[in-house]
């Protein structure tokens, strides 16, 4: 299994450079690949950011689900990632969703971020948030 960098996933997802798209596609097709949470976090940022490709949440999720659904792809924690994508689609920041889901076996997640607290209540996230106000 080979860990893959974000740039390979970006080329595969957006196909904006023919040569690199072919390299990325062939690599993903012919290898058993692993994506860490940090690579997936960066991928969401690059695809959705105004400084990146500025794709809608729906398109970002569609492209990522396609990649993760390839037969030879493994992620760091499939369930955490799936839950984070659901929360992201519901309007939560993807990084916040990963942080919150990653704290599930702990006594809570402490934050000063009121928006995160409000969004987690709105989407009915079960994880305990400790809001420092």
In the chain, where the domains are located:
1-76, 91-133
By C-alpha distance, which of 120, 74, 73 is closest to 96? 120
Q: What's 90's DSSP letter?
A: T
Confidence tier at 105 by pLDDT (50, 70, 90): low
What percentage of the chain has pLDDT greater than the value 90? 57
More confident: 77 or 10: 10
Q: For residue 83, give the nearest of 42, 55, 48, 125 by alpha carbon.
A: 125
Fold of 1-76: Rossmann fold (3.40.50)
CA proximity to 63, closest of 13, 29, 21: 13
* The pLDDT of residue 19: 97
Top mean pLDDT of 29-43, 95-109, 119-133 is at: 29-43
Q: How many CB atoms lie within 10 A of CB 55?
A: 18
Geometric angle at alpha carbon 114, from 102 and 85, rounded to 5°: 40
- What is the mean pLDDT of the segment spanning 28-45? 94
Per-residue confidence at 129, pLDDT binned at 50, 70, 90?
A: confident
- Does pLDDT of 59 surpass 70? yes
Average pLDDT over residues 23-40: 94
Residue 90 has pLDDT above 70, yes or no: yes
Smallest Cα–Cα separation from 125: which of 43, 109, 48?
Answer: 109
E strands present in 1-133: 2-3, 33-35, 73-75, 109-111, 129-131
């Amino acid at each position: 299994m080979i860990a893959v960098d974000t740039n390979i996933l970006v080329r595969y997802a957006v196909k904006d450079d023919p040569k690199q798209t072919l390299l990325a596609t062939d690599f993903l097709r012919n290898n058993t690949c692993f994506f860490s949470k940090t690579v997936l976090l960066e991928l969401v940022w690059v695809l959705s950011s105004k400084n990146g490709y500025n794709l809608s949440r729906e398109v970002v999720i569609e492209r990522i689900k396609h990649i993760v659904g390839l037969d030879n792809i493994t992620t760091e924690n499939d369930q955490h990632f799936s839950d984070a994508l659901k929360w992201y689609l519901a309007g939560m920041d993807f990084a916040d969703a990963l942080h919150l889901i990653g704290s599930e076996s702990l006594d809570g997640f402490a934050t000063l971020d009121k928006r995160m607290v409000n969004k987690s209540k709105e989407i009915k996230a079960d994880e305990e948030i400790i809001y420092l106000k």
